[in-house]
Structure 1
Amino acid sequence: MASLLKAMPSMSTILSLYASISGLSMLFRTIFNEMIPRGIRDLIAKHLSDLFATFFSSDFTFIVEDRWQAVENETFRAVEVYLPTKVGPSTKSLLLGTNDTNNIVAPPKLGLPVDAKVVDCFQGMHFEWTLCENEAEKHYHSHKKYFQLKCKNNYREQVMRSYLPYISQTAAEILNKRETLNIYTYDDEDSMWESTVFKHPATFDTLAMEPDLKKFIIEDLDSFVQRKDYFQSVGRVWKRGYLLHGPPGTGKSTLVAAIANHLRFNIYDLQLQGVRNDSQLRRILTSTTNRSILLIEDIDCSTQSSRSRDRNKDAKEGHDDDDDDEGGDQLDSKLSFDPRVTLSGLLNFIDGLWSSCGEERIIIFTSNYKEKLDPALLRPGRMDVHIYMGHCTPAAFKKLALTYLGIKEHVLFKCIEDLIQRTIITPAEVAQHLIMKSDDPQVALGSLIEFIIMKDTEMVEKMRVKTMSKRL
């Protein structure tokens, strides 16, 4: 012990060494400050700080919120789809449920409750995910959800470069293979879309429609979903607008169901009457997801004025009805919809700058009276394809008979076809008699003939009364 104490330097030696080191450090700092520009000094300091953080701080946390700026966060949605497939023993709680009201014995789906943890492994790296929730600051906003990803600090680059892209790709594959579709309605009280399983049986195979029109619609839909690169190359948003118009009972809603089943797109059913203002409309529409159908039914019933432009006034002032100026849309925006939602507010989403907030979307409007709609809505880019859903034709009748009765020919077909060509009858009326009257084709077709004759007689009588009234 004594020899060890003798070997230790004296206090004066230690102080002298300290003074020398301090003097050298001050000298180096002075040279560093005088010889090296400030920008380079800051860059060196940053790299040294990152180096020390890498070695002395082992953990790092990523936060993935449910919304990114003004739109739905697609990364959050991908993680939400991906994580239930990675549930393991480390996960202590799970959500179970099903929204398939048509099948009570359907196996429940897995979901993650708030504070649930999921451990995932990717390329030898371990990650811990936690679903968290914060209360909304404002009463009309829903609670904010976010995923918290914890990993080693030196995994940060791999997370950004490999792990998150892998999650997005896996989620896309899961969504593409989904067996069930959802239909969404907006809950104003909770400020969120609520869904239920969409199991409408309509397909293009069962649709009672003229073959040429059906072929056109299918080819147009298939072309749309395959032309992402083309839309980008010509500088257009990847969306497509359809107007389905015609009398009630002509199959507009059934066609929407067939389109959803064909594309495997979820449906967002928006009731404009329940939207308070343009700001809420924008928030509602930006919270819809890609690869979906936005459905606005009976849009003519959402208007106060069937035509907000005064054609006579425009003619007097020398205005061109075909003027493509967006300002014209703005001037009449207060007149076309309920005062709470303006025409310009809707147009800004379907064809304005806000239309770029999302892609691969189908927007479908339905109307019983196309002539009541403002011309600003009918232009290409808003309603790109106008599809008239007319009264039942012989071809449509044969399709209905094959679908509901399982027959391609019958002795009564010729009589029914002749009656349909001179009597206005909707596919819904035809289907009602084929479904409800009898399983026997003879009885069902006979009942349909009686109905068409009765309707034809009523129409003739109405025309006779109308003619007599004009004469008087």
Structure 2
Amino acid sequence: MTSLLKELPSMSTILAAYASLSAMAMLIRTILNEMIPKPMQKLINSKFSHLISNYFSSNFTFIIEERWQAVYNETFRAVEVYLPTRIGPTTDKLLIGSNDTNNPTSLPKRKIPSDCKIIDEFEGMTLEWTLHVRESEKYYIPDKKTFHLTCKKRVRELVEQRYFPHIAKTAQTILSKREKLNIYTYNQDRSRWESAVFRHPARFETLAMEPELKQFIKDDLDSFAGRKDFFESVGRAWKRGYLLFGPPGTGKSSLVAAIANYLNYNVYDLQFQSVRNDADLRRILTSTTNRSILLIEDIDCSTKIAKDRDKVKDDQDKEDKDGRPDRPSSIDPGVTLSGLLNFIDGLWSSCGNERIIIFTTNHKEKLDPALLRPGRMDVHIHMGYCTPTGFRKLATTYLGIKDDKLFDAIDDLIKIVDVTPAEVAQQLMIKSDDPKAALHGLIEYLNMKKDKPEEDRTIQEEEEKAKDEDDKNDGKQRMKLEESETGSIYLS
């Protein structure tokens, strides 16, 4: 033992060797830092660290991105719904907030903030979740979000086969029992849908609509919602298109709200002004969820989509002939008719299930026929002026009465006066605490509208008469001018 100790190097020798090695390592490091570019150094370090961690670590990490190829990742959505229900004492931070403007005192909703760790237990496995957010350098590109799930390598297959299906089923159950609906609008600057709580009071029971039409719509919705297997068997996307057309104030928006409440579907309200081009439209629409309503209001106001292609061709021919456009050109091409059709009835229409697409317009005749055919707008619903049946429903809703001796007089006026349900409702609301006064006020309003067209016709006739007189005077002046010019030419 003594001889062995004598053969060991002294402490000073060990320290000298250590100093020499350290100096050599620092020299090599300095040379490498000078010779190898920074990006290459980072790549080498990351690869080396990854190799060491994989070799020595017993953990495995699943990464779930927000988008999966060209569409929204349904697994990401399921995790987003599931994780707030697994928040426990080990959670170190939490994001809370409320978008329910109708009930400011309601409990805030829970959301998972960036870098928050959530521990979940499933069938004896301990699973750790973390949300990572990488901010985008460009404002029009959304931030990249990913969920990381860390587990032991030995349970990796069990997590894939048992845990992820459990998350999907739980999320589906939560969504099917949701008590609040959301309405979404697209934020172009942030390139994402933003939501608010949707609490519209409209129900089919309160709509001022003919009972036969109400029942037809409800039956059609029930048939659509319960025919998943049928749509698959005939090879069609599980969607339904509705066109609501008619004058303003006839209840198109209220019918959309009633459909949403009846089916318990969220609403995505899309304004084409917020869409840059067809590619942007595809990305936006594939970000909507299943069991939802895509609402495109006043589609006739979007000339590139609504206008008949023959009219577009005529405008282009006129533009080429004149050498200048009728209106200022836009740098951004915007959404085209073909881009919209490709999503609602082309190959992209299969990217999603159980969706209602609703278009509204005040002028159906302005729409391209390609939009109107079945498969795109399957059901056309005319939202017309108020009828006696509609008035009685409004009287029951706003005044709480089902009959009155003034009803017959109002029915007779409504049959000959074009008045919208919104106008009738407004008149009844003015004096809803006094039903008699409200009915008399409505009669006065209807009589005023009945007399107004006669006044308008009289004014129009007087204007046309004055215009004819002006035309005659202009004609006489032109004749005198022509005679004067002719005489001048002749004399010269």
- Do the structures match in fold with TM over 0.5? yes
Counterpart Cα distance in 1 of 2:333 and 2:218: 37
Deviations 1:185-239 (A, max 9, x none): 1111111111111111101111110000000101111111111111011000011
Match of 1:364 in 2: 358
2:336 aligned with 1:342, yes or no?
A: yes
Give the counterpart of 1:415 among 409, 412, 417: 409
Q: How far does residue 437 in structure 1 lie from its aligned partner after superposition?
A: 2.9
Matches within 5 A, 1:106-185: 106-136=106-136, 138-185=138-185
Deviations 1:370-408 (A, max 9, x none): 000000110111111000000000111111111111111
Matches within 5 A, 1:72-91: 72-91=72-91
Q: 1:358 to 1:311 in 2, by over 3 A?
A: closer
Q: How far does residue 133 in structure 1 lie from its aligned partner after superposition?
A: 1.0
Counterpart Cα distance in 1 of 2:348 and 2:403: 52
Match of 2:309 in 1: 308
Letter in 2 for 1:342: T
Give the counterpart of 1:387 among 381, 404, 428: 381
Confirm or deny: 8 A CA contact 1:306 1:371 kept in the other structure: no
Letter in 1 for 2:157: E
Give the 3-state SS of the residue equivalent to 2:209 in structure 1.
Answer: coil
Match of 1:269 in 2: 269
Deviations 1:40-64 (A, max 9, x none): xxxxxxxxxxxxx999752111011
CA RMSD of aligned residues (A): 2.2
Match of 2:370 in 1: 376
Letter in 2 for 1:117: K
Confirm or deny: 8 A CA contact 1:241 1:362 kept in the other structure: yes
Give unmatched runs, 5+ long, in structure 2: 2-52, 315-328, 469-492
Deviations 1:12-66 (A, max 9, x none): xxxxxxxxxxxxxxxxxxxxxxxxxxxxxxxxxxxxxxxxx99975211101111
Counterpart Cα distance in 1 of 2:312 and 2:146: 52
Q: How far does residue 139 in structure 1 lie from its aligned partner after superposition?
A: 3.9
Letter in 1 for 2:69: Q
Confirm or deny: 8 A CA contact 2:139 2:190 kept in the other structure: no
Match of 1:67 in 2: 67
Q: 1:406 to 1:250 in 2, by over 3 A?
A: same
Letter in 1 for 2:267: I
Q: How far does residue 464 in structure 1 lie from its aligned partner after superposition?
A: 4.6
Match of 1:453 in 2: 447
Counterpart Cα distance in 2 of 1:268 and 1:56: 48
Confirm or deny: 8 A CA contact 2:246 2:363 kept in the other structure: yes
Letter in 2 for 1:179: E
Aligned length: 398
Letter in 2 for 1:405: L
Q: How far does residue 135 in structure 1 lie from its aligned partner after superposition?
A: 2.5
Letter in 2 for 1:309: D
Q: How far does residue 95 in structure 1 lie from its aligned partner after superposition?
A: 0.9
Q: How far does residue 466 in structure 1 lie from its aligned partner after superposition?
A: 4.8
Confirm or deny: 8 A CA contact 1:142 1:191 kept in the other structure: yes
Counterpart Cα distance in 2 of 1:440 and 1:342: 52
Confirm or deny: 8 A CA contact 1:72 1:287 kept in the other structure: yes
Q: How far does residue 462 in structure 1 lie from its aligned partner after superposition?
A: 2.6
Give the 3-state SS of the residue equivalent to 1:268 in structure 2.
Answer: strand
Deviations 1:263-298 (A, max 9, x none): 111111111122111111111111111111111000
Confirm or deny: 8 A CA contact 2:398 2:432 kept in the other structure: no
More helix by share: 2
Q: How far does residue 460 in structure 1 lie from its aligned partner after superposition?
A: 2.6
Match of 1:42 in 2: none
Q: How far does residue 468 in structure 1 lie from its aligned partner after superposition?
A: 7.0
Give the 3-state SS of the residue equivalent to 2:107 in structure 1.
Answer: coil
Give the 3-state SS of the residue equivalent to 1:205 in structure 2.
Answer: helix
Q: How far does residue 117 in structure 1 lie from its aligned partner after superposition?
A: 1.0
Match of 1:48 in 2: none
2:245 aligned with 1:251, yes or no?
A: no
Deviations 1:137-193 (A, max 9, x none): 644211111110011112122212111111111111111111111111111111111
Confirm or deny: 8 A CA contact 1:54 1:154 kept in the other structure: no
Confirm or deny: 8 A CA contact 1:244 1:364 kept in the other structure: yes
Deviations 1:217-262 (A, max 9, x none): 0111111111111101100001111000000000000001111111
Q: 1:54 to 1:280 in 2, by over 3 A?
A: closer
Counterpart Cα distance in 2 of 1:238 and 1:312: 34
Match of 1:95 in 2: 95
Match of 1:354 in 2: 348
Letter in 2 for 1:406: G
Match of 2:197 in 1: 197
Confirm or deny: 8 A CA contact 1:187 1:194 kept in the other structure: yes
